[in-house]
Amino acid sequence: MALDTPTAVVLEQMTMAQQSAAHLGELFVAASPPMAAEHGQALTAEIIRCCDRVIAAISRGATGKKRKQVVHGGVMPAKRRARGAGARQEVQSGTTADGFMWRKYGQKDINGSKHPRFYYRCAYSGEGCAATRRVQQSQEDPAAFVIAYYGEHTCGDGASYACQQGAAPLPPAVIVDSNANAGGVVGVVDRYQYLESPLPLLAAEQSTRRHGGEDPFETSDRRWTSFSSSSSSEAEPGTSPVLEFLEGGLGVGWESVVNCLGFGCDLPQFDMLQ
């Protein structure tokens, strides 16, 4: 495990922070004064975005040493991602829904792999958003998808992304260190119960389920109910789930992140964080 390197710790903690914020955002959905709910969701979206930038910056720094710099003659191209270029983040998840709107632009059978690989770009790529992701059904666990994220969403205005549908309902995920040789697991984030997806199934999942004979999804008990009808939105009388969550320290060890930063791990340019 690479958890003993400062960079890995920061990456893991920031990812946990993202998921915590996403969870908090869901609690705000059910918050009693609609005004507070709105502000709460905006704030959690902001937190998620900040974490996203930190992860991106750190990942860039970590991979930059190994990645070959392709120098183009001054023109923009950079269209095609270098083969095997490291993902900004790689997660293993039970669903391909991550709160963002993606448009599929390709599918490919991969040589050693039993399942095809799907290529998505941000639904707002037309507006210049460069975010991209690659989804592949896991070999060992056919019920899981390995999702690699590339690029960053640029379709946002600071509080939220145009392509983001509320707080990201991040499912339990295994965060994989894409910089490690054999895709070493950096950390396991399974602190939350399985969250229902507010989104319609994406094409990859739909087609997988449709044609499935021994398809994992056909036999799965998982139910995909609407987000708003989730029973978890009913708060116990007298207690606020939002407050409970906050009192629990956001569920994230911020100290370890701060400590890590304080001990001077070689973080990349922070001006990129804006």
Partner DNA sequence: CGAATTTGACCATG
Partner DNA sequence: CATGGTCAAATTCG
List contacts with DNA (CB under 7 A): 68, 70, 79-84, 103-108, 110-112, 117, 119, 123, 132, 134, 202-204, 206-207
**Cβ proximity to DNA, 109 vs 214, nearer residue:** 109
What gap in Å lies between CA 138 and CA 70, rounded to an integer?
Answer: 31
Residue 138 CB neighbour total at 10 angstroms: 18
Which among 233, 182, 201 is positioned nearest to 135, based on CA atoms? 201
Q: How far is the CB of 226 from DNA (least distance, A)?
A: 16
Q: How far is the CB of 210 from DNA (least distance, A)?
A: 8
**Cβ proximity to DNA, 81 vs 191, nearer residue:** 81
Q: Which residues contact 5 (CB under 8 A, 6 or more apart)?
A: 265
**Cβ proximity to DNA, 53 vs 103, nearer residue:** 103
**Cβ proximity to DNA, 206 vs 225, nearer residue:** 206
Q: How far is the CB of 93 from DNA (least distance, A)?
A: 18
Answer for the pair 217, 209: CB distance below 8 angstroms, yes or no: yes
Q: Which residues does residue 22 pair with via DSSP β-bridges, in sequence order?
A: none
Which among 76, 81, 85, 87 is positioned nearest to 105, based on CA atoms? 81
Token pair for residue 237? Answer: 């009388």
Q: How far is the CB of 122 from DNA (least distance, A)?
A: 11
Answer for the pair 159, 139: CB distance below 8 angstroms, yes or no: no
Q: How far is the CB of 105 from DNA (least distance, A)?
A: 5
**Cβ proximity to DNA, 119 vs 227, nearer residue:** 119
Pseudo-torsion of CA 192, 193, 194, 197, nearest 10°?
-70
